[in-house]
Amino acid sequence: MKMDALPDQAVNEIKKVVEVAGYLWQREWAERNGGNISVDLTEYFEKTTIDSSKLPHNLLSIVGEGAGFPKDSAGHIFFVKGGGERIRELADPQIAGCVLMIDEEAKGYYLLWGGRGKSDYKPTSEFISHVEIHMDKQRAGSSHRCVVHTHPLDLIALSHHPKCAADEELYTHVCWQMLPEVRAFIPKGIGIVPYCMPGSQTIAEGTVQKLRKHDVAIWEKHGAVATGIDAHEAFDYIDVANKGAKLYLQCLASGYEPQGVSEKDMQDLKETFNL
Ligand SMILES: [Zn+2]
C-alpha cells in the first residue's frame, strides 16, 4: 500500500513523526535502535473500511499469564517504529515503521502498511507499554495521541546525580529554576521511575503512574518518556525539560551551584500562567 492510500490526516501525523525522529537523531538522543515513537491514528480511519481477513496477522511473541495489549485497545490503529529499527531511518516511515491494528482479542495485530512489506514485521519491543500509556491517557479523557521515548543526554546525566536521582521533587526543581519557560511549559514537573529492566512490566506500570501526574517520566539512568497531542508536542515536553537539566549541569561543570530563578519569581510565574 502506498502512503497516499492512507487517510490524509494519518499521513499528516506520520510526517510529524518523521520530522521529530530527525530531531532526536540530530540531538544524539537516538543511538542505534534506541528510542521509539507511536501515534494512535484510530480516529482518522473512521471512514475507512478495513477487511482484516486479507491482512497479515501476528500474535505477540511474549504471551504469558495476562500478557497482551490492554483489552480496550482492540481495534485501535497505530503508527509505530519497528523492533530493532533505527530512529534515523524513520526518514522512510514504511521501512522503519508500520501502521497496525490491534486484533479483536488484543493478543496480536494486523499489519496495514509499511514494515518493509514483510508479513511478520514486529513493532518495537516497548510497544505494549506504549499502548498501556495511550489507553491510560484516553481513559482519562486526554487528547494526547503520541508517545515518545528517547535518550536525552542531559536528563539522563541528571538521573545519575546522587541527590536528584532519588528525589523527583528536587530533580524537577533544579530544572524549573534554570529558565522561566521550563517552569511554564513543564507545569506538572518530572517524575522518576527508579532503574528497572527495559521492556519489563515494572517499567510500563511505573511510567503509566508517573505520566498521570507529570509531564515527563524519567527512566533513571536510561531515558525519558512523554506524551502529547502529536509528535511535536510530546517532543516539546522532553526538549524543554532537557533544557533545564542541561543548563543546571553546565553551571555545575563551570564550578558553581546556580542561583536559579527565585522562589518568589517562580511563584509569580505559577500565578501568571495559571499553572
Ligand atoms: Zn530506551
Does residue 55 carry a pLDDT above 60?
yes
Residue 185 to residues 21, 38, 238: CA-CA distances in angstroms?
21, 22, 10
What is the Å distance from ligand 1's center to 34 Cα? Answer: 5
Q: Read off the pLDDT of each residue in 11-15 and give the average, rounded to a whole number.
A: 98
Question: How does pLDDT run across 135-161, given as a tens digit for each residue?
Answer: 999 999 999 999 999 999 999 999 999
pLDDT digits (tens, 9 = 90+) for 85-119: 999 999 999 999 999 999 999 999 999 999 999 99
Q: Please give the torsion angle defined by the CA atoms of residues 39, 44, 50 and 56, in that order, rounded to the nearest 10 degrees.
A: -20
- Residue 181 to residue 243: CA distance in whole angstroms: 9
Confidence check: pLDDT of 67 > 90: no
Instruction: Supply the pTM of this predicted model.
Output: 0.96
Task: State the catalytic residue, choosing from 13, 126, 132, 220.
Answer: 126
Confidence category of residue 66, pLDDT binned at 50, 70, 90: low
Which domains occur in the chain, in start order? 1-146 (3.40.225.10), 152-275 (3.40.225.10)
Q: How far is the CA of 35 from the centre of ligand 1 (A)?
A: 5
223 CA distance to ligand 1 centroid (A)?
6
pLDDT digits (tens, 9 = 90+) for 155-208: 999 999 999 999 999 999 999 999 999 999 999 999 999 999 988 889 999 999
Residue appearing with cell numbers 490503529: 77
> What's phi and psi for 147, nearest 5 deg?
-120, 130
The DSSP annotation for 212-270 comes to: HH-SEEEETTTEEEEEESSHHHHHHHHHHHHHHHHHHHHHHHTTS----S-HHHHHHHH
Active site residue 126: yes
Question: What value, to the nearest 5°, has the Cα angle with vertex 128 and ends 127 and 130?
Answer: 60
Q: What's the pLDDT tens digit per position in 210-266?
A: 999 999 999 999 999 999 999 999 999 999 999 999 999 999 999 999 999 999 999
- CA of 227 relative to ligand 1 center, distance in Å: 15
Q: What is the pLDDT of residue 201?
A: 87
Specify the pLDDT at position 200: 86
Q: What's the 25 CA to ligand 1 centre distance in angstroms?
A: 13
pLDDT in tens, 110-124: 999 999 999 999 999
Q: Compute the distance from residue 150 Cα to the ligand 1 centre, in Å.
A: 6
